[in-house]
Structure 1
């Protein structure tokens, strides 16, 4: 039984960014050759260094303005890509590369208050997500973040 789903940035959001080259804060979007793995926040696939073109923009994954609203840098592919589709499993290419993608899971309540913070470390991220939702009824959703850079990777919702 599925207990969670992965929510990437939408294809329509990415298309708007590519068309306007302006982020939701009025900032200029920067196109660059990928120097790091990313990942793309739409496809949730790592970038190929020195091959893929990516767009750098400021993004906030929150719906409400409050103290926990953490806008920050994210990358999306400069080319049109499909949204991550295996939504009941954490992206395998991110999951398998713990060195490049050290993960933390941040839990938020319905009121968008931070109620949990958990380093993934050597744990299986899919099992940890299911465990967090089973044991913490006050966690409405999670954000997966890079534990070193602190940048947002994707949202994870209860099913």
Structure 2
């Protein structure tokens, strides 16, 4: 199976940038990147030093249920985004991440979440996605639990 790492969907990014509001209806914050560790969930790159970025609460899910996690994310204020890719995203610079499988109804599939060394993320995500009960896999910060990107089977 071939997998792809996905940024947040373009329509979600456009809605955030246009409305300037987050998942809680709060106004997004704008800051200037120091070039160190500001991972954009649109272009899946570290926001360059001196560039403005947005700080906001986001839920990377279509619906809401008890498993619908909300957390802080960063977005370049103005980037062209990224297409899904089989290559590990540039934003994954830490030694490890939480990798967790979700069902088609956006619920955590128990027993799938684990802290995974960065070099093993693709292999673990591929193993999870081979299961019939896993619809997608999310990669989250191992230290802060922030959403970074989604992994799906390649189309």
For this pair of structures, how many residues does the alignment match? Answer: 151
**C-alpha distance 34-63 of structure 1, shift in aligned 2 (>3 A):** same
Runs of 4+ in 1 over 3 A off after TM superposition: none
Q: CA deviation at 1:52?
A: 2.0
- Give ranges in structure 2 of 5+ residues lacking alignment: none
What corresponds to 1:14 in structure 2?
13
Could you tell me the TM-score, scaled by structure 1's length? 0.83
Q: CA deviation at 1:125?
A: 1.8
| Structural mapping, 1:8-157, within 5 Å | 8-35=7-34, 36-49=36-49, 51-79=50-78, 81-91=79-89, 93-95=90-92, 97-99=93-95, 102-115=96-109, 116-121=112-117, 123-134=119-130, 136-157=131-152
Could you tell me the TM-score, scaled by structure 2's length? 0.85
**1:11–1:82 contact (8 Å) kept in structure 2:** no
**C-alpha distance 86-155 of structure 1, shift in aligned 2 (>3 A):** closer
State the superposition RMSD in angstroms.
1.9
For 1:44 and 1:10, how far apart are their aligned partners in 2? Answer: 12
For 2:118 and 2:27, how far apart are their aligned partners in 1? Answer: 37
**C-alpha distance 133-16 of structure 1, shift in aligned 2 (>3 A):** closer
**2:57–2:70 contact (8 Å) kept in structure 1:** yes
- Give ranges in structure 1 of 5+ residues lacking alignment: none
